[in-house]
Amino acid sequence: MGKCRIGGKYAGRKAVVVKQQDEEVSDRTYPHAIIAGIDRYPLKVTKDMGKKKIEKRNKLKPFLKVVSYTHLLPTRYSVDVAFDKANINKMTKRRASNKKPTGLNKSLGNSLSNDREKTRKSHQRAKYDRNDIENPAFMEHEVNHYIDSVTDETSLEDFLAKAELAGTEFTAEKEQFKIIEKNSAIVVPTRLDYRANLELQKENEHRLRIPRRPAKELWENMDELTRLENEAFLQRSVN
């Protein structure tokens, strides 16, 4: 039987009723029918058009839809076409709805979640309000210290760094030190000293090496990597 769609996306399209369902079912509580029709008809072609353009304009787009009887307008036309009911039922099977609830309960889930979170925060806040318990929000946390630059160190810092790299333990007695007065005289090097210093730097510049990270094959965990890096730094400072 021919029908004319009067509502929805395919309003005004003529369709054929493939299957009727006059009684209510579990997923659709209204009388409905499965209809098939043409969504896009072929366009006009002329003889001067190319082959690809003619093929494109000759294409049509069908549609298969489940609609309520209230959205259909009966006509006096009828067709006799055989359809595969199994494939049609599979194509029109209703999928699970992902829509949020509507109406008065549309914000009920958010309200319950917000109320639960507010109760949890107030309970945590009350648990640490007593004077004998420290609030974790104000407790000092351990901060990871990264390696500082060692390009400019004093003799004491250099000694302590080497001792730490070598894993050496040492003790020092208190108040056993001597203050050496600084020499206020300014020494200006001569041209010969300056040139000799430059030549000495050029002769020994091949000995200056930047320590690199050990190869991946030499270590398996972070402890071994740290040990190899410390040995490389120590060997570089000794050389």
CATH number at residue 19: 2.30.30.770
* Total number of domains in the chain: 2
| Residue 139 is assigned to a structural domain of this protein | no
Q: Which two tokens stand for residue 125?
A: 């806040």
> Do 18 and 3 meet the contact criterion of CB atoms below 8 Å apart?
no
The mean per-residue pLDDT over the stretch 129-150 comes to 52
pLDDT of the residue at 54 = 92
**207 is a domain residue:** yes
Model's pTM, two decimal places? 0.34
Which segment of 1-10, 38-47, 129-138 scores lowest on mean pLDDT?
129-138
Is 9 domain-assigned? yes
Domain check: are 6 and 87 in the same one? yes
Asked if the structure places residue 142 within a domain, the reply is no
Beta bridge partners of 15: 3, 37
Query: Whole domain around residue 37: which residue ranges?
Result: 2-91
Neighbours of 33 (CB within 10 A): 20
Whether 204 is in a domain gets the answer: yes
Backbone φ and ψ for 149, nearest 5 degrees, come out as -70, 140
- Residue that finishes a domain, picked among 91, 115, 134: 91
Residues 159 and 86 in one domain: no
In a domain, 141, yes or no: no
> Could you give the residue ranges of the DSSP H alpha helices within the chain?
51-57, 85-91, 108-127, 155-166, 191-203, 222-238
Answer whether residue 31 shows pLDDT above 70: yes
The pLDDT value recorded for residue 30 is 82
Q: Distance of alpha carbon 93 from its chain centroid, rounded?
A: 35
Domain boundary among 43, 68, 91: 91
- In this prediction, residues 37-53 reach a mean pLDDT of 88
Question: Is 22 within the bounds of a domain?
Answer: yes
| Residues 161, 155: Cα–Cα separation, whole Å | 10
Chain segment 181-213, per-residue pLDDT in tens:
556 667 778 888 889 999 998 888 777 766 677
Tokens representing residue 202 in the block: 């050029």
